[in-house]
Structures are given as structure tokens and as C-alpha cells.
Amino acid sequence: MTHMTFRRLSRIAISACCIFSVMAFGHPGTLSAKAEDADLLDSLPGPAESAAGNYLAAVVAGAARDTRAAALYFREALRDDPNNPELLERAFVALLANGDMQEAFSAARQLLKRDSSNGLARLALGVEAIKARRYVTARKYLGSGGRGRAADLTATLLTAWSWVGSGDLRRALDTVERLKGETSYNVFRDYHAGLIAAVGGNRREAENRLKAAYDVERTTLRVVDAYGRLLSVRGETEEARRVYEAFDRLLPRNPIVQDALKRLDAGQTLPALIANTQEGAAEVLYGLGAAGNSQGDEIAALIYLRLATFLAPKHELAIVTLGDMLERLKQYSSAIEVFDTMPADSPLRSSIDIQIAISLELMGEKDKAQKHLEEMIEANPGDVEALIALGNLLRSRKEFAEAAKIYTRAVEAIGTPDQSRWTLFYFRGIAYERSKEWPKAEADFKKALELAPESVGSDRALVLNYLGYSWVDRHMNLEEAFEMLKRAVELRPRDGYIVDSLGWAYYRLGRYDDAVRELERAIELRPADPTINDHLGDAYWRTGRKLEAKFQWNHARDLGPEPEDLPKILEKIEKGLPDEDKPAAAEAVEKPQNGG
């Protein structure tokens, strides 16, 4: 669905259970220590000596969205106080968000003994019943849960899928039709009605409903893939190819789309997107989880995605979204565990392996991260994405010469680059420039600008900024450079680093008043950046504001500058700047260009 559609759905679908509030960190049944808990405790302060201590530790972990630690501390707390209802409910949510499904289901049963109307507990047990193909039981849980539109949306769609499992397609479709009154429901309703009809064997209804969804949501991968696969199953290969090619023109090189086109070209029939009730119910939960993720409702999103992967462990996009969320929450070990569940034959497996390397790098396992990418490249020397990922890794470590070599291998593997490859030349240009190979860097920055269409918008500012500033720094192409920097600031007016580039360019040309104006604005945007503070100190000194200059240099010193910059800053604090003539190059740029 579009973000607009999912935004509405996520707000509606999540609110009733209150699962994204701190109070909602919820409940287990019979809790047992897990083998990995010992390893986790080694990296944490360890369990407290009291239930209260573990409870507080769990609340802190929950507030930080560290579901693994929260689940562990709630387990410890419940050992000492197993009948505490609030503790039980919070632990339930933590276990569910952490993917400890059997403990969470046990907890849900305990919760319902205390409060039969607990909507989240009923949702969890309804999902458990769908997984076990106990569809009547599932409907009992889903039909008597929470009240309001949130419960209605989730329960209605899951109930509809349960009717598919019971073999009653008419009841399933009738149930989906209850989703009325919200314009944002229309595509969601047609999408699931089409999937339900396809699984239930009514291909005509399936095509009508999926086509209706596709006509509205041609930029949504899941809708495109479902409709394209249905067309393939019906033998309409050319129409299926047209659907995928239209999406590829809009968002090139998506692995799922590329794989579908490759199979169609080979004369293969694509399998249906959803094969059974469990996968259909998982699709509902994935959609709601993706919506919550895009809107920052992290705990709610984690719960939906955990339930989705419980029902359909090979749901590729649920795996990707859940792993990405965990990585963003800095739960790198958990993210890797999720990523590793991606099927080996999935078209997304290569992308996932790159994500695993990124997670390893972020958690400090640098050797493992590099080895992981090198093994990918050794297995497939033409894997452009793996080469770019390795180049990015080396560039982030400031191993610029090695990064440039890897990027060159990627360029060679591509052959003739299309517009979407502009970032590769931009990255290699940075690596060359930092390796002091300016002619090669300049050529790459120009190539990046040539490839990057105006449609990339503010991203073009990155190249304009780097090339424009580099020219000014070398007193080359000054008029063109200033136009580039001004355009970069127009595209990213709130980017303190780019505003700093324009200000520092004025400084290097001796236009100190203009430099002060831009650098003061850059400081407003990035007050804690040592380089910008250092630059502003220099500009103040040159305009005679020497007391303010020393203040900025002292501030730059205290903000932790690069090691090679610190001695220069300390010398300026002690001695100031030496006298110098105004650079002759300043006169090369006409005064009207400063915009003032």
C-alpha cells in the first residue's frame, strides 16, 4: 500500500491494544530461562537481587526498545513475583516483541484468565490457532477481542483468512466486505479479497480484485507482485511482464522484480504470492507491521512482524522489515538472527547477506564483516552490490585507496552504467579525492552529475557540494563552482555541512564577511560540529572579531575534532592566525554572486 494508506491503517490498527505505550510491555505464562539468556547477561549488568530491580531494568530496556533485554529482565522479575498482573502484562508484550512466541502464548492464556477482554492476548492466541489450523478456535479469539476500529480491521481480515482455512470462500469474501466506511480501506480490502479469492480457487474474482488494487497502487511492490503472479498463473505472460517492467522503470533493480522477469523470460510460470491461510494471515500482519515501522510505532510493528514470521517463517519482506527494524534499534545480534532466516533461494538473499555484513560492522565485528563480503564476492565475482558494499565499508574505515580499487571492480562489472548508478561514481570520486588522486576524482564527480537525473532531488546536492568545494579549494572553475555550491544549498538548505562548504569557500577566497554569514548559519544547523566551529573561528579572526574567534576555537577543541586537526586548533588558540594577504582569487568571483 502507499504510505498514505498504511499511515491511516497503522493508526487505526494499533491503538486499541495500547501496545506501543510503556504500560503495554506485557506477559508470559510459565517462564523458563533460555540458553541464550546466559550470553546476554554476560553483556548486561546482570539480574538484580529483587523483582523490583529486575522490573526497573526491564522498563529501562523497554523504553530503549531493547526487547531482548526487556524480555530477559521481565523473566527474572516474574520468578520472584509470578502473580503480579501488571508485571505479567508488560512481560507478555516484551516476549511477543522479542519473538519468544511459545512463552508469549502461554502468557496470553494466563492474562485471559484475569481479563478475558485483553485484545492483544486474544490476537496472539488467534494467530496461534491459525498456525495450528484450528480455525473455529481462532475465530472465537478474534471475534470477542477488543473494541473499535483497530480491533475491527485486524480481526476482520484474520477472520476472513480463517474462513478460507475452513473451506468457506463465500464467508471469507463476505467478511472482507465488512471493511467499509474508510476510504483508506479500499485498496487494502481489494488486495486481500483478491488474495483470498485466488487461494479459494475463484480466479475471476481474484483477477478483478487484484487488478482494482493494482490500478490504484502501481508503485507498491506487494500489489504489483501479487497481480503479476496471478497473470502468470492464468497464462497471461506478456501482461505479467508488462506489469513488472512498468515497476522496474519506476524503481530499477528490485531483486524480486528482476527475478520475476528472469523467470518469465525463461518461460516459467510464477507461483502465486500466497499459497494458504497461514501465509494470507501473515500477509495481513506484515502489512500492519510495515505500516507501524514507517510511522515509528516500533513495539507495535515488532509485534505484528513477529506474528507474521511465526505464521510464515519464509515471508521475505517480513524478514527484511523486521531485521531492518532491529538493526535500526541497534539490536544487531537479533537482526542477524532474523536475516539468517531468509531462504537461500530467495532473490533477496544476496541483499540480506550484505545487511548481515553491515550489522557485523556496526556491532564491531569488523574482520567478520569484511570476510563475509569477500566470501560473497569470491562466490560471485560479478556481484555488483556486494562490491559496492565492500567499497563502502572500506571507505567508512578511511581505507580510501583500497575502496577505490573495489569500486573500480564494480564499475567494470556493470559495463555501461544507467542513471541509478550515479552513487557508485560519487563514492569512488570521494575515495580518489581522499587518496589524493584528484584527476580521477574529478572525472568521477562529473560522471556522477552526468548520470544523476534532476529527479533525485536533494541527493544531487552531495555531488554538487563535493565537486564545487574541491574546485574552490584548488582555485579552479570558480564561477561554476560557486553556482554549484549555491545550488547545493538551495537543494539542502537545512544541511549544515553543505552550508559550511559554501561559507568555507567564501573564506578561502578572502570574502570573509560572506564567510561569516554562511558559517554562522551552518553553526545554527550543526552547533556541535568541531569543523564548522573551527571554520567560523577562522572567519571571525579575519574580520577582526578575535575574542569571538578564540571562543569558537575553544569550542571546536572541546567537541572532539579529528586527531590531525587538534594541534592546529590548539596553535590558533595560543597564537591566532598569521597575517595574510587577501587571496587574489577572491576577485575572480564577481561580487553579485554572494547573494548579498
Q: What is the 3-state secondary structure (H, E, C) of 250-316?
A: HCCCCHHHHHHHHHHHCCCCCCCCCCCHHHHHHHHHHHHHHHHHHCCCHHHHHHHHHHHHHHCCCCH
pLDDT of residue 588: 44
pLDDT of residue 70: 63
pLDDT of residue 292: 80
Cα–Cα distances (Å) from 456 to 384, 452, 492, in that order, read 21, 7, 12
The whole-number average pLDDT for the span 296-316 is: 92
Structure confidence at residue 593 as a pLDDT band (50, 70, 90) = very low
The whole-number average pLDDT for the span 32-36 is: 40
Residue 429 · residue 466 · CB < 8 Å: yes
Cα separation, 572 vs 134, whole angstroms: 76
Q: Range with the lowest mean pLDDT among 147-161, 200-214, 249-263, 311-325?
A: 147-161
Q: Range with the lowest mean pLDDT among 132-141, 144-153, 550-559?
A: 144-153
The whole-number average pLDDT for the span 22-40 is: 35
Residue ranges covered by each domain of the chain: 44-116, 458-591
Q: Considering Cα of 213, then 214, then 217, then 221, what sign does the dihedral take?
A: positive
Condensed to tens digits (0 to 9), the pLDDT of residues 148-185 reads: 454 578 899 999 999 999 999 999 999 999 887 666 67
Cα–Cα distances (Å) from 466 to 258, 420, 441, 507, in that order, read 33, 19, 10, 16
Structure confidence at residue 30 as a pLDDT band (50, 70, 90) = very low
pLDDT of residue 26: 29
The burial class, CB within 10 Å (0-12 / 13-18 / 19+), for 461 is: buried
Condensed to tens digits (0 to 9), the pLDDT of residues 493-526 reads: 999 999 999 999 999 889 999 999 999 999 999 9
Query: Does 1.20.120.1810 match the CATH number of domain 458-591?
Result: no
Cα separation, 220 vs 9, whole angstroms: 15
Task: Kindly report the number of other CB atoms within 10 A of residue 249's CB atom.
Answer: 8
Position 57: which residue type? A
Work out the mean pLDDT of the chain and round it to a whole number. 85
pLDDT of residue 432: 97
Q: Which of 329, 29, 59 is nearest to 74 (CA)?
A: 59
Percent over 90 (pLDDT), the chain: 66
pTM listed for this prediction: 0.80
Q: What burial letters (b/e) apply to 139-172, b meaning 16+ CB within 10 Å? A: bebbeebbeebbbbbbbbbbbbbbbbbbeebeeb
Q: Range with the lowest mean pLDDT among 373-382, 459-468, 469-478?
A: 469-478
pLDDT of residue 46: 55
Query: 178 by DSSP, 3-state: which?
Result: coil
pLDDT of residue 20: 27
Condensed to tens digits (0 to 9), the pLDDT of residues 398-408 reads: 999 999 999 99
Decide which of 70 and 572 is more confident.
572
pLDDT(595) > 50: no
pLDDT of residue 9: 31
CATH architecture of 44-116: Alpha Horseshoe (1.25)
pLDDT(562) > 90: no
Structure confidence at residue 86 as a pLDDT band (50, 70, 90) = confident
pLDDT of residue 551: 96
Residue 388 · residue 349 · CB < 8 Å: no
pLDDT of residue 13: 32
Structure confidence at residue 23 as a pLDDT band (50, 70, 90) = very low
pLDDT of residue 253: 87
Is residue 347 within a helix (H) or strand (E), and if so which, with residue range? Answer: none
pLDDT(38) > 80: no
pLDDT of residue 586: 45
Cα–Cα distances (Å) from 47 to 60, 77, 429, in that order, read 13, 9, 50
Q: Tally the C-alpha atoms within 13 A of residue 501's C-alpha that lie toward its C-beta.
A: 29
Cα separation, 394 vs 375, whole angstroms: 15
Position 136: which residue type? V
Position 73: which residue type? Y
Q: Range with the lowest mean pLDDT among 77-91, 236-250, 287-301, 345-359?
A: 77-91
Q: Which residue has the cell 570476510?
A: 371
pLDDT(39) > 50: no
Domain 458-591 in the same topology as domain 44-116: yes
Structure confidence at residue 582 as a pLDDT band (50, 70, 90) = low
pLDDT of residue 49: 54
Cα separation, 86 vs 78, whole angstroms: 11
Q: Which of 443, 571, 448, 588 is nearest to 505 (CA)?
A: 588
Structure confidence at residue 307 as a pLDDT band (50, 70, 90) = very high
